[in-house]
Amino acid sequence: MNKINLNLLFIFSSVVFSSFSFSNESIYRIDYIIFKFLPDIDSKEKFKTPEISFSDELINITELKYPEFNKPDSLDNNLPYQDLFQDISISRVITQSNLQEENNEDDVRMSENQVFFQNDSGTDFAMEEIVQTLKRSKNYRVIDQNSWFQEIKDQSLAPAVLIKTEIDNGDIVVGEIKAYKKRFLHLDANLYFAEESIVPSSFRKTVKLKEQIKKGEFMINEINLFENEKLEFLYQINHSRKVRSKELHYVDHPKFGVIFQISPIKNM
């Protein structure tokens, strides 16, 4: 995510996690892939400029930090980097047969010291094979992939998670995802596809951006989401879907799409 100027910084301590009695059944990992359709072909289809709307309070996904890696001398062998890795074939592709089918192959576990709404970049991404397949295709360009753990609550209590990708070839996707429970699991995706523009964006949105720094404690920054950015918002995905755990779901627009999966945690 682009660096954001912070207008207000303070620490908010919510009720300590230990005072809650979370069950594994309420904790899930959410994974998504956002991609753009290629090539950019002009068509006669006209898209209405979306009306931009965000929640006033959003959760920011942070990254689990690892100790700095010190490269061992054994890597200084002057070999081309390709020779240091094995070739791995990609066999899994996105088809109607694997969409919306439960995948029970892998147990889902949180990394040690990981907290909710924190990405563990050291853990294999659940949909990495799909990412690599998309990257090999001339029809798509992967813009972003991410995952985090959270407790999934009733709709009235469910937090909205900020989605804001790095700018990729002038393209950016910004929005929010909300996972919640009614009788079944649900996921709402409100995503906007934008392009860098030479004209300053007329849209401004001040939000309370929360980052969980440790169990039960949040850092809250009151920010303008687009303070130093010039963006032209072109397209929107605004979709709500009932899901089952470990199903693959695909939501698309003629210009971009998102694949997501919600998986229950195996243990704490």
Q: Average the pLDDT over 165-175 and give the result.
A: 94
pLDDT on residue 42: 60
Q: Average the pLDDT over 173-193 and give the result.
A: 96
Secondary structure of 32-53 in HEC code, one letter for each residue: EEEEEECCCCCCCCCCCCCCCC
Q: For residue range 120-157, what is the model confidence (pLDDT) as tens digits? A: 777 778 899 999 999 999 899 999 999 999 999 999 99
pLDDT on residue 220: 95
- Assign residue 3 a region: left if phi > 0, alpha if psi is -120 to 50, beta otherwise? beta
Residue 131 main-chain phi, psi, to 5 deg? -55, -50
Q: Average the pLDDT over 83-107 and give the result.
A: 48
pLDDT above 90 for 34: yes
pLDDT on residue 110: 83
- Average per-residue pLDDT in the chain? 79
Q: For residue range 37-91, what is the model confidence (pLDDT) as tens digits? A: 987 656 667 888 899 999 999 999 998 765 555 555 544 555 444 444 433 333 3
**What residue has token string 């169990």?**
215
**Separation of alpha carbons 27 and 267, rounded Å:** 9
- DSSP 8-state class, residue 133: H
pTM to 2 decimal places: 0.76
pLDDT on residue 166: 93
pLDDT band at 103 (very low <50, low <70, confident <90, very high): low
Percent of the chain with pLDDT over 90: 50
pLDDT on residue 45: 75
